[in-house]
């Protein structure tokens, strides 16, 4: 404690005074594995590995969706993450609907928000989920179009733009799971 006070007075790097255990609860995680997300494939691994014990439903999606029901073992999630191939078009709307499930009110999607399949508009699906009591959040790469980001924000979703896999994982912790 004393060291932290001295560091803050001197303008140095702050030191951790204490650590807080975060109870994240259960969540559904939707990972975009379309070809447009291939450059960000490590994000999927970073975010999913951070929440291995909290994932109750895992959805891999491109033009089709693969749903893994929980409770999921670490081995199942790791095997799925390492065997996924990033290719195809993107159907985010259907993936969000599949990720929503009774009893789990947090839906986190890692995606660039590029809907390339003719389906319902993403903001429409987000509004419906929000009205049903779900908290929807997106982790997006910097390549996501600002107008798409703003549209889902206006629909009620939280959006965190991250430049690295670490920022993506921390974005979920800081901006999504902690806020009511």
What is the average per-residue pLDDT within 46-70? 81
Scored b (16 or more CB within 10 A) or e, 16-51 reads eeeeeeeebebbbbbbbbbebbeebbebbbbbbebb
For the cut 70, the answer to whether the pLDDT of residue 3 exceeds it is no
For the cut 80, the answer to whether the pLDDT of residue 169 exceeds it is no
For the cut 50, the answer to whether the pLDDT of residue 18 exceeds it is no
For the cut 50, the answer to whether the pLDDT of residue 21 exceeds it is no
Strand 27-32 to 106-110 pairing: parallel
Higher-scoring residue by pLDDT: 79, 63:
63
For the cut 70, the answer to whether the pLDDT of residue 22 exceeds it is no
For the cut 70, the answer to whether the pLDDT of residue 48 exceeds it is yes
Nearest to 173 by CA among 156, 160, 157: 160
Angstrom CA distances, 108 to 104, 126, 140, stand at: 11, 11, 11
């Amino acid at each position: 404690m004393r060291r932290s006070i001295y560091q803050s007075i001197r303008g140095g790097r702050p030191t951790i005074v204490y650590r807080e255990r975060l109870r994240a609860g259960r969540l559904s995680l939707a990972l975009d594995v379309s070809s447009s997300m291939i450059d960000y494939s490590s994000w999927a691994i970073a975010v999913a590995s951070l929440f291995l014990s909290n994932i109750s439903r895992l959805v891999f999606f491109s033009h089709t969706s693969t749903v893994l029901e929980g409770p999921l073992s670490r081995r199942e999630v790791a095997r799925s993450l390492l065997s996924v191939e990033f290719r195809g078009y993107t159907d985010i709307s259907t993936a969000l609907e599949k990720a929503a499930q009774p009893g789990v009110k947090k839906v986190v999607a890692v995606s660039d928000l590029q809907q390339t399949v003719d389906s319902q508009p993403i903001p429409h699906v987000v509004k419906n989920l929000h009205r049903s009591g779900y908290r929807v959040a997106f982790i997006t790469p910097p390549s996501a179009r600002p107008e798409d980001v703003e549209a889902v924000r206006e629909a009620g979703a939280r959006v965190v733009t991250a430049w690295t896999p670490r920022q993506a994982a921390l974005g979920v912790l800081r901006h999504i799971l902690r806020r009511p």
